[in-house]
Amino acid sequence: MAERLYFRQLLSGRDFAAADPIAAQMRNFAYLIGDRETGEAVMVDPAYAAGDLLDTLEADGMTLSGVLVTHHHPDHVGGSMMGFTLKGLAELLERVSVPVHVNTHEAQWVSRVTGIPMSDLTAHHHGDKVNVGDIEIELLHTPGHTPGSQCFLLDGRLVAGDTLFLDGCGRTDFPGGDADEMFRSLQQLAALSGNPTVFPGHWYSAEPSAGLEEVKATNYVYRASNLPQWRALMGG
C-alpha cells in the first residue's frame, strides 16, 4: 500500500501561509493524505491559508474528498477563540464542499469556533474508519487536550495532533482540557503495535517525526506509569 499512499507533512509559515507571522510562530503541521491511484485525498487541520494547502494538493494531481480535524483550536481549523481569529476551515469550505470528519465529543466545539453548522460536520466515535480510495484511516479518540481530540492511524503512521508531540504533549489548561484524560490517552497511544511513525501537530522538537518507540524512550511524558506519578510530573 505504501506506493499508493500520498502523504505530505506541511509546515505553517514555510510550506503554506508563508507570509503569515503568526503561522510561522505557531509552527503548525497540516497533512495531506491520499490514494495516488484514485487521486482522492483528505486534508488534516487546515488553518491560516487553507487555499494554499488545496493548491498544493491539486498541483500534485489530487482531488480533495474530505477534511480530518484533530481538534477545535483555531490554529488547527481557523475561527475565533480567546480573543483572536484565524482563517481556515470555513474559507476552505467556501471553495470546495467536502465532508468534515470530527470526533463526536468535539463537534459542538468545532461548530462554535468556526461558525460551521453542526449539520455540515460528520461526527465519529473511537475506532471509526475513513477510507480515501483504498487507504484506510483509523480515528482514535484521545481526549485530554480537548474533549474530542483525535489522532489518525494509517499505514505505519500516527498523525497525533496536539495529543502527543515528539517532546511533550498538548496543554490541558485550556477550556475542555483534562490532565487525567491526557494521561490515559498517552497510555493508549503507547500501547499501539508496530512502532508507527509519530507525526505531531506542531514542530516543537529537533525532528519533524519519529518512531513511537523512540518517542516513548525520550519524551518526558512517558516517565509516569500511573496517575499519581503523572499528577506529580505535571504539577497537579
In 40-83, which ranges are E strands? 40-44, 63-68, 79-81
The set of residues, in sequence order, having a beta carbon less than 8 Å from that of 49 and lying 6+ positions away, is: 16, 17, 20, 23, 87
Domain assignment of residue 118, given as a range: 5-233
pTM of the model: 0.97
pLDDT for the residue numbered 32: 98
Cα 150 → chain centroid: 7
Kind plus residue range of the DSSP H or E element containing 31? strand 29-35
Give the mean pLDDT of the chain: 96
Please, which residues bridge with residue 132 across strands?
135
The pLDDT tens digits for 5-54 are 999 999 999 999 999 999 999 999 999 999 999 999 999 999 999 999 99
- Take residue 218 and report the three cell numbers written for it: 525520550
Residues 27-40 as b/e (b if ≥16 CB within 10 A, e otherwise) read: bbbbbbbbbbebeb
pLDDT category at 84 given cuts 50, 70, 90 is: confident
Predicted confidence (pLDDT) at residue 236 exceeds the cutoff of 70: no
Give the pLDDT mean for 84-110. Answer: 96
Using only C-alpha atoms, the chain has a radius of gyration, in whole angstroms, of: 17
Nearest to 77 by CA among 32, 120, 116: 116
pLDDT for the residue numbered 173: 93
Read off the CATH number of the domain in which 115 is found.
Answer: 3.60.15.10
Predicted confidence (pLDDT) at residue 83 exceeds the cutoff of 90: no
Total domain count for the chain?
1
pLDDT for the residue numbered 230: 96
Give the pLDDT mean for 65-80. Answer: 97
Count of CA atoms in the C-beta half-sphere (13 A) of 199: 22
